[in-house]
Amino acid sequence: MIPLTQAQQYVLSNIDTSRAMAIPIDEANGLITSGSLEAMEEIPPFDNTAVDGIAIRSEEIDRLNLSGSIEVRIAATIAAGSPDKVEIAPGTCVRIMTGAPIPSNCSAVVMIEDVVASDIMATISCRIAPGDNIRRKGSDIAIGTRLFESNTRLTPAHIGVLASVGFAKVPAFRRIKIGVISTGDELAEVGQALTYGKIRDSNRHSLLAIASSSGANVLDLGIVKDRPEDLRKAFLDAAKEVDVIITSGGVSVGDFDYTKAILNELSNGKAQWMQIAIRPAKPFAFGKIDNTPFFGLPGNPVSALVSFELLVKPALRKMQGDLEPLPRPVLAKATGAYKRTPDGKRHFVRSNLHVNNSGALAVKPLDKQGSHMLHEMSKANSLIIVEDGDGFLKDQEVEVLPLSAL
């Protein structure tokens, strides 16, 4: 058996980032930038009002501050989007709507709620200072502002910033396409009759879902029987269609576990079949077919998902430009004990990570830990990392990996 970190490092060292290209901003959420980006437009693009109100000149501000109240004639109304460059005469003011350009010789805007106004006159009796309620040109983003560094993961707010300064596209690592295959003579499709000896294929569906929530495009490549010629054809076809191939089943030591052998043949003898010192998810195969990374995950449904989390997800992150692709554990207090005996393996215990009544992170190990017990896994949101030994006690602080999508 090899340590998990060795398996992870091996995989990562054989993974390249996906191609960097200009991606339309509406397709870039969750992607990672491949270069830094500087603003070529400024925000706001002109001085404008932050409120609906009355814009006044500095002379009126001075009069107001001397006398406590002024009356000014309303010369015009300016709506948001108005293209006119306005300058007002002494003794006048304008009604102005949020976002509208400020007349060039106005110095502040009084909120409409603080004004008594008729159609032609405004009476102002509140305190006001120059600059009040004016959003200055370039105050959010000046021209030349560094918007993002390289290798920034784009969120909805980033997408909004890009749109606000006129970028239709953003340089980012291309979204990758993952093909998922299930292998096994025993597998039946959802919707097919379940004859004796068969089980339903759940892995393909859970793996398509987890790959898609990891930000990839996915392709369902179906079920392939445990027959070398079928597997060979399916793997070769997949390598032409997708950037990453994920299979489940057939990487163990059974008589019909052909995946690892066929993968090795198709990757010119360079595939690695590993026995990793972890539980669940000990067997794992990794190689490349025509330069397309191939992940052979174990067939047991819990093992397949844990293997994805520990070995596939870091690789996907690296492919998509993440500079720190390995998952990082958090510390939490165990609400129950976990007993184990030394077996040379690190255990990943399905668990529920939560915030307790004192506002601290706590984690509850779940009861059923069998690697075929997917229903129990579906209640878990985390894995407690338990090094080889006797386990942990209630109230002990433990390391936990949250099972999150990205």
Residues contacting ligand AMP: total by CB under 6 A: 19
The Cα 371–Cα 66 span in angstroms is: 80
The Cα 190–Cα 202 span in angstroms is: 8
Nearer of residues 249 and 293 to ligand AMP, judged by Cβ: 249
Q: Are 204 and 182 in contact (CB under 8 A)?
A: yes
Q: Which helix (H) or strand (E) holds 62?
A: helix 58-67
Least Å distance, CB 190 to Mg ion, is 18
382: β partners = 351, 402
User: What are the tokens at 100?
Assistant: 């509208």
At residue 223, the 3 state secondary structure works out as: strand
Please, what's the b/e burial string for 16-55 (b: 16 or more CB within 10 A of its CB; e: otherwise)?
ebbebeebebeebebbbbbeebebeebbbeebbbebbbbb
Residue 296 sits in the site that holds ligand AMP (CB under 6 A): no
Residue 252 sits in the site that holds ligand AMP (CB under 6 A): yes
Nearer of residues 111 and 188 to ligand AMP, judged by Cβ: 188
Nearer of residues 124 and 246 to ligand AMP, judged by Cβ: 246
- Binding to Mg ion (CB under 5 A) within 127-166 occurs at none
- Binding to ligand AMP (CB under 6 A) within 178-197 occurs at 182, 184, 186-187
Burial class (CB in 10 A: 0-12, 13-18, 19+), 374: middle
Q: Which helix (H) or strand (E) holds 367?
A: none
- Binding to Mg ion (CB under 5 A) within 246-275 occurs at 249-250
Q: Which does 325 bind (CB under 5 to 8 A by kind): Mg ion, ligand AMP, none?
A: none
Least Å distance, CB 215 to Mg ion, is 29
Among 298, 314, 325, 391, binds ligand AMP (CB under 6 A): 298
Residue 370 sits in the site that holds ligand AMP (CB under 6 A): no
- Binding to ligand AMP (CB under 6 A) within 231-250 occurs at 248-250
Query: Which residue type, as a one-letter code, is found at position 365?
Result: P
Count of residues making up the chain: 406
Nearer of residues 133 and 300 to ligand AMP, judged by Cβ: 300
DSSP 210-272: HHHHTT-EEEEEEEE-S-HHHHHHHHHHHHHH-SEEEEES--SSSTT--HHHHHHHHTTT--E
Q: Near ligand AMP by CB under 6 A, which window of 104-112, 124-132, 149-157, 295-303?
A: 295-303
- Binding to Mg ion (CB under 5 A) within 171-230 occurs at 184
Which residues of the chain form contacts with Mg ion (CB under 5 A)? 184, 249-250, 299
Which residues of the chain form contacts with ligand AMP (CB under 6 A)? 182, 184, 186-187, 199, 201-204, 248-250, 252, 254, 257, 298-301
